[in-house]
Amino acid sequence: MSAAKPIYDPARSEPERQAEWAERDAFATPAPAAGQAATYIKPSSPFTSGNLHMGHVRDYSIGDAYARFRRARGDAVLFGFGFDAFGLPAEMAAIERGARPADWVERCGERMLGQMKRLGFSFDYERAFYSSDESQYRWSQWLFLTLYEAGMVYRDDATVDWCDTCQTTLAALQVEDGRCWRCHNKVRLIRRPTWFLRLSPHLEENDRNLAALEQGGKWDELSLKTQRYILGRSDGVELELSAADGERLVVFTPHGDAAGEARFVLLSPRHPAVERWAGDAAVAAQLDELRSGGWERSARDAAAVPVIDTGGSIELAGGGSLPVFVSPIVDARYGPTAALGIPAADEADEAIAARMPRAAAEPFGGGSPAGLEHREASRYRAYDFSISRQRYWGTPIPVLHCEQCGVVPAAIEDLPVVLPRDVEPSGEGNPLAERPDFLAASCPRCDGPARRETDTLDCHFDALWLWVPAAVPPADRDERMFTHPDLQRWLPAERLVAGNDSGGFVFDQRVVTKALREIGPFAFLADGEPFAGCLFHEMVIADGRKMSKHLGNVVDPDELVAEHGADTVRLAVLYAAGPAKALNWTDGALRFAARFLRGLWDYTHSRIAAEPADDTEAAADTAFIRERLGKWCDSGLERITADLEQLQMHKAVRNVTRLLERIKDYEKRVIDRRGRLSREDHEALLEALVLLARALSPFAPHIAEELLIALDRDPSVGFPVHDQASAQEAS
């Protein structure tokens, strides 16, 4: 054995590998060759917070391992992302620091890109973008106008929190115990015009498609579960009832068998017929109060939720009648519909009946559903959501307010409506309303004077299409963002890897894809699905609790990388837990990963330095052990490959570590039998170590390449293909 055994020093070797990757442009998105699979792996789009946290490290370590694996298997891989750079957290952080959000976001993004590179993530960095770039948000505006034209975006009143002192609306995260985050005065609820995204036309298809996505085998259980939860489907029956004046009302209940036991009808405040039932002035006043009361907050508690008695009743042809009440509990359970109240079958209905004196004493169907004409039906809880905010740091909404014409959409050729970047918001008022240069415009319809909309789009709207730009070469994005031919190559994305809190984003992205399919640009996506596969992972916690500055349990990835190296951190994060489990961060996983990598490094280098003797007789005697090693390598590789294909990286890493144990076991058996390794035994050992380094390369790419170089192999040849031939070769 040589005395000058190289020392494992990731602080030196990892930046060297990274420089080498950059030099040969190793992760540039290739143009797929004929017959080559095109695989778009979509990581989550980070907020420009300024720091990667351990959740990001988890997310990107999983996605990166998969991307490296697929590249090594011969696929053309697109692994790219953009920053979710607009929005309230960035604006609040900038206010805190007295900075312009535009500058703050850029500094944050630069820093995060540096962290990603130091962790060795193989993104196509040339394709990275910021949703706050003018070249990006002009397409958010295009999408807004396109959806508006298609009736998918509309304007309506909504209840919002308002601070009288700061003269601004507040988002939920700016209200603490009913007080403003900035001035600590009490907030109140007001009604104001707000823009909404319409989901209802695509809920059924989003639901229907889940079966096919599940069958495709690339959507994990967690991600499917979130989609079902957001849909909130209830199955039951619907009945058509008629009022005394002949007005008909379709009512739903999930308790079909007990329909005849109904004692009242509950209408959603959003039901299209609610105004008709609230015709009485006193009832209309109550309804107004209910709508401005922020009822969403208590809508799920039947004992506390507001319920209005309309005074009206609905008759049944066969006799009997049911009083009609209005309550937002309907929305929280079944969406904006009408529902039967059946105390005998439903606890919430029982609680409401107890509160409402007019709830019928007698069941209207005489207790039996037999005489009632009903049909099977479903309802979805998912409903349209507001997409506008009274905020500076967001995509300007491309509409104008004209004295003559009212609300007028901007002309597409006038895009982008540019957001002034030289603004330092204070959190008070609306900075855009104080910028005459932004406000002044002329009406595209009548050419008269008009004022620009000063609300901006919530960053949730930007996120609706944040998975698209990476698939378009940066130079072509200005002209052909939604029409570039490459989109047909990369979409749907083969896999989305994201945190478990991304379900809402994914759901809405699935809705918008369907809208764009119908409108035209995404007509090539027949099922309207943006992601063929989806892997959700749980968050990273510490001491059983969410990491937070407040608790003082935040783990800083930079410190870990500085101390242990990127490979150790990545391997530890992957090894510590399967994606469906919260990763409770402890030093244990880190110590395990460090020990394994250092051990592998030392073992490989010492075996490379060993000098075996020629011994034909010994070689013949140990042939069966070499053969066994070949089989172990083959089955180990088969398992690791299967784990990687399912993105079960914790299992794959475990199987990599087992493979090293097998190799050591092989060596021990040979020595037990012959006292030493023959040249043939030694060559088989090195060959197995080559295979091991390649199998390790998706997870710990830097050390894997260093080992391959030491073993005199081409480090850019990646993951080994599992088949019998390679097993024979190794034995």
Is 401 a binder of Zn ion (CB under 5 A)? no
Is 179 a binder of Zn ion (CB under 5 A)? no
Question: Left, alpha or beta for 633 (phi > 0: left; psi -120 to 50: alpha)?
Answer: alpha
In angstroms, the Cα distances linking 190 to 175, 283, 351 are 14, 20, 29
Query: Residue 519's Cα: distance from chain center in Å?
Result: 24
> For Zn ion, which is the closer residue by CB, 404 or 483?
404
Q: Which of these segments, 8-16, 177-185, 495-503, 604-612, binds Zn ion (CB under 5 A)?
A: 177-185
Instruction: Supply the minimum distance, in Å, between the C-beta of residue 166 and Zn ion.
Output: 3
> For Zn ion, which is the closer residue by CB, 185 or 548?
185
> For the chain, what is the largest distance between any 2 Cα atoms, rounded to a whole number of angstroms?
105
Instruction: Supply the minimum distance, in Å, between the C-beta of residue 215 and Zn ion.
Output: 51
Main-chain dihedrals φ then ψ at residue 314, nearest 5 degrees = -120, 135
Instruction: Supply the minimum distance, in Å, between the C-beta of residue 447 and Zn ion.
Output: 7
Instruction: Supply the minimum distance, in Å, between the C-beta of residue 156 and Zn ion.
Output: 22
Is 182 a binder of Zn ion (CB under 5 A)? yes
Lookup: tokens for 716: 């850019």
d(CA 687, CA 706): 15
Is 166 a binder of Zn ion (CB under 5 A)? yes
> For Zn ion, which is the closer residue by CB, 114 or 448?
448
Is 404 a binder of Zn ion (CB under 5 A)? yes
Instruction: Supply the minimum distance, in Å, between the C-beta of residue 449 and Zn ion.
Output: 9
Q: What would the x/- binding string for Zn ion be over residues 121 to 160, using CB under 5 A?
A: ----------------------------------------
Is 172 a binder of Zn ion (CB under 5 A)? no
Contacts with Zn ion in 329-348 (CB under 5 A)?
A: none
d(CA 28, CA 355): 65
- Taking CB under 5 A as the criterion, the residue among 113, 150, 171, 183 binding Zn ion is 183
> For Zn ion, which is the closer residue by CB, 36 or 442?
442
Output the CA angle 385-389-394, nearest 5 degrees. Answer: 115
Instruction: Supply the minimum distance, in Å, between the C-beta of residue 406 and Zn ion.
Output: 8
Instruction: Supply the minimum distance, in Å, between the C-beta of residue 363 and Zn ion.
Output: 52
Is 410 a binder of Zn ion (CB under 5 A)? no
37-52 core/surface letters (b: 16 or more CB in 10 A; e: else): ebbbbbbbbbbbbbeb
> 64: closest CA among 539, 571, 471?
571
> For Zn ion, which is the closer residue by CB, 161 or 331?
161
Instruction: Supply the minimum distance, in Å, between the C-beta of residue 289 and Zn ion.
Output: 24
d(CA 608, CA 207): 57
d(CA 165, CA 580): 45
> For Zn ion, which is the closer residue by CB, 161 or 508?
161
Do residues 86 and 137 make contact, with C-beta atoms less than 8 angstroms apart? Answer: yes
Instruction: Supply the minimum distance, in Å, between the C-beta of residue 175 and Zn ion.
Output: 10
Is 610 a binder of Zn ion (CB under 5 A)? no
Contacts with Zn ion in 420-479 (CB under 5 A)?
A: 443, 445-446, 448
Instruction: Supply the minimum distance, in Å, between the C-beta of residue 182 and Zn ion.
Output: 5
Main-chain dihedrals φ then ψ at residue 116, nearest 5 degrees = -60, -40
- Terminal Cα distance for the chain, rounded: 24
Lookup: tokens for 358: 């007019």
Instruction: Supply the minimum distance, in Å, between the C-beta of residue 92 and Zn ion.
Output: 13
Question: What number of chain residues touch Zn ion (CB under 5 A)?
Answer: 13
- Taking CB under 5 A as the criterion, the residue among 165, 368, 586, 606 binding Zn ion is 165
- Collect all residues with Cβ–Cβ distance below 8 Å to 645 and sequence separation of at least 6: none
d(CA 243, CA 259): 17
d(CA 279, CA 312): 10
Is 402 a binder of Zn ion (CB under 5 A)? yes
Q: Which of these segments, 351-359, 400-408, 528-536, 623-631, binds Zn ion (CB under 5 A)?
A: 400-408
Lookup: tokens for 22: 């950059």
- Residue 358 neighbours by CB distance under 10 Å: 16
- Taking CB under 5 A as the criterion, the residue among 92, 105, 163, 608 binding Zn ion is 163
Q: Which of these segments, 181-189, 222-230, 351-359, 611-619, binds Zn ion (CB under 5 A)?
A: 181-189
Q: Which of these segments, 104-112, 176-184, 260-268, 686-694, binds Zn ion (CB under 5 A)?
A: 176-184
- Taking CB under 5 A as the criterion, the residue among 189, 273, 405, 582 binding Zn ion is 405
Instruction: Supply the minimum distance, in Å, between the C-beta of residue 444 and Zn ion.
Output: 8
- Taking CB under 5 A as the criterion, the residue among 95, 102, 180, 322 binding Zn ion is 180
- Collect all residues with Cβ–Cβ distance below 8 Å to 527 and sequence separation of at least 6: 209, 212
Main-chain dihedrals φ then ψ at residue 239, nearest 5 degrees = -125, 150
Instruction: Supply the minimum distance, in Å, between the C-beta of residue 442 and Zn ion.
Output: 8
> For Zn ion, which is the closer residue by CB, 446 or 671?
446
Do residues 455 and 489 make contact, with C-beta atoms less than 8 angstroms apart? Answer: no
Do residues 636 and 662 make contact, with C-beta atoms less than 8 angstroms apart? Answer: yes
> For Zn ion, which is the closer residue by CB, 186 or 664?
186
> For Zn ion, which is the closer residue by CB, 404 or 724?
404
Main-chain dihedrals φ then ψ at residue 276, nearest 5 degrees = -65, -40
Do residues 9 and 598 make contact, with C-beta atoms less than 8 angstroms apart? Answer: no
Q: Give the three-class secondary structure for 12.
A: helix
Q: What one-letter code names the amino acid at 44?
A: S
Q: Which of these segments, 163-171, 259-267, 552-560, 691-699, binds Zn ion (CB under 5 A)?
A: 163-171
Instruction: Supply the minimum distance, in Å, between the C-beta of residue 448 and Zn ion.
Output: 5
In angstroms, the Cα distances linking 491 to 63, 448, 718 are 17, 43, 25
Give me the residues that bind Zn ion (CB under 5 A), please. 163, 165-166, 180, 182-183, 402, 404-405, 443, 445-446, 448
